[in-house]
């Protein structure tokens, strides 16, 4: 029979072996629980910049295939207006400066509707039959003009560039007031300057002179995800001039800086 002292030593030895084994089992269990998470993290690719899904998205749509939101459109630049009348009684073809703003409404992945308002002013006189552009010394009316553009636009994408072509109908809203330094009682072709202004305003809105079929072309560069900038050209064909036998008189062509903010 072992003595009590020997039994006590055996118990100490068993305890010394059991404690490390228990600690080792706990560490092994914890490691096994963490391993799936670590494997998932290791399996997940590290991406920087654009993902493969984003790269496959056609410009003009979001990742789920839906259309982008409405964007803001800003333009500014010169607009030339052809005057076919003799310069002995009217001004040479005037060049005015326009400032415009509008929106770009997505209709599809590549098509948009882009209504825009553009503003400018220039001088006119009345020659007894027509309202003609006038130089400062011969002015009668100052015409406050607003172009209402209603084009549909198709977009071609190439790397960071956008090429656009479109067309539609534009409305030219004009209203003449007495030019600065001109009195309504001054002489005019109708009898007075005030009467000439009335004739000019009536002429603006008669014979479809406010209707202009429009052609549009532009190039834009993508600066970042929200901002694009470039140039555009617009041509306005004077429907009223053709109807009234004046040919291309009044045709307009503009070259603008073009900015889109999304």
pLDDT along the chain (262 residues), means of 10: 50 48 50 47 44 42 57 98 90 96 95 97 95 94 98 94 97 97 93 96 96 98 94 98 94 98 93
Check residue 87 and give its pLDDT: 82
Check residue 29 and give its pLDDT: 52
Pairwise CA distance, residues 160 & 219, whole Å:
11
| Number of Cβ within a 10 Å radius of residue 64 | 6
Check residue 86 and give its pLDDT: 84
Check residue 10 and give its pLDDT: 46
**pLDDT, tens digit (0-9, with 9 covering 90-100), for 44-81:** 444 444 444 434 344 444 544 444 789 999 999 999 99
From start to end of the chain, where are the E strands? 71-81, 95-106, 111-113, 116-126, 131-133, 141-158, 161-178, 211-222, 227-236, 252-261
Report H helices in 44-158.
Answer: 52-55
- Spell out the domains of the chain, with CATH numbers in brackets: 67-261 (2.40.160.20)
Check residue 101 and give its pLDDT: 98
First CA to last CA across the chain, in angstroms? Answer: 94
Pairwise CA distance, residues 240 & 243, whole Å:
5
Check residue 89 and give its pLDDT: 83
Check residue 47 and give its pLDDT: 42
């Amino acid at each position: 029979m072992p003595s009590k002292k020997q039994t006590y030593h055996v118990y100490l030895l068993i305890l010394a072996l059991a404690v490390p084994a228990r600690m080792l089992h706990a560490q092994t269990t914890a490691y096994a629980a963490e391993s799936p998470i670590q494997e998932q993290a290791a399996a997940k690719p590290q991406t920087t910049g654009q993902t493969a899904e984003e790269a496959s998205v056609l410009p003009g749509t979001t990742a789920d295939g839906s259309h982008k939101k409405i964007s803001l459109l800003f333009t500014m630049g010169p607009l030339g207006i052809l005057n076919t009348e003799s310069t002995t009684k009217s001004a040479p073809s005037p060049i005015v400066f326009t400032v415009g703003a509008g929106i770009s409404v997505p209709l599809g992945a590549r098509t948009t509707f882009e209504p825009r308002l553009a503003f400018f002013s220039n001088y006119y006189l009345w020659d007894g039959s027509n309202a003609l552009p006038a130089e400062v010394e011969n002015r009668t009316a100052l015409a406050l003009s607003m172009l209402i553009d209603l084009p549909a636009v198709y977009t071609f994408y190439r790397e960071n560039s956008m090429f656009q072509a479109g067309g539609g109908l534009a409305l030219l809203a004009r209203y003449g007031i007495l030019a600065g330094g001109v009195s309504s009682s001054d002489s005019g072709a109708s009898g007075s300057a005030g009467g000439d202004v009335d004739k000019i305003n009536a002429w603006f809105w008669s014979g479809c002179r406010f209707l202009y079929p429009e052609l549009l072309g532009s190039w834009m560069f993508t600066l970042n995800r929200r901002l694009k900038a470039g140039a555009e050209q617009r041509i306005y064909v004077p429907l009223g001039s053709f109807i009234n036998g004046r040919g291309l008189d009044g045709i307009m062509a503009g070259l603008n800086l073009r900015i889109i903010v999304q």
